[in-house]
Amino acid sequence: MGNSIQNICKGTCPKCNKGKIFEQNGLLYKLRMPKMHVNCEVCGYKFEKEPGYFYGAMYVSYMLTVGEAIMLYFILSYVLKFADNFQIFLIISVAMIGLSFFNMRISRTIWIHLFTS
């Protein structure tokens, strides 16, 4: 279990745990969608099993986004004592747009690891 979480965080192939799923690391600062390898460079494992395979990753991304928004709301309203709900809404909206690139990447990695035996 711990090894799987570590491989998800690293973005490595679920079969060999060595090849990278995405072509480049750390694209958050470039604000563009990361490109995936079609197959693992090490073992040849095909990441996209069929057309539309990653539609399920959207649900994982939604789960991550909701969790991040709830956590950010509690931090802003209870820890930092923001009183204005509109201000909290704007901060959460900007954060969710900024985290969308990270969420897309990690949700696809989680989805690939979920369905690999």
Q: Is the pLDDT of residue 28 over 60?
A: no
Convert the chain into a string of H (helix), E (strand) and C (coil): CHHHHHHHHHCECCCCCCCECECCCCCHHHCCCCCECCECCCCCCECCCCCCCCHHHHHHHHHHHHHHHHHHHHHHHHHCCCCCHHHHHHHHHHHHHHHHHHHHHHHHHHHHHHCCC
Structural domains of the chain, count:
1
62-95: pLDDT as tens digits? 999 999 999 999 999 999 998 899 999 999 999 9
Domain residues for the domain of 105 are 2-114
49-62: pLDDT as tens digits? 888 899 999 999 99
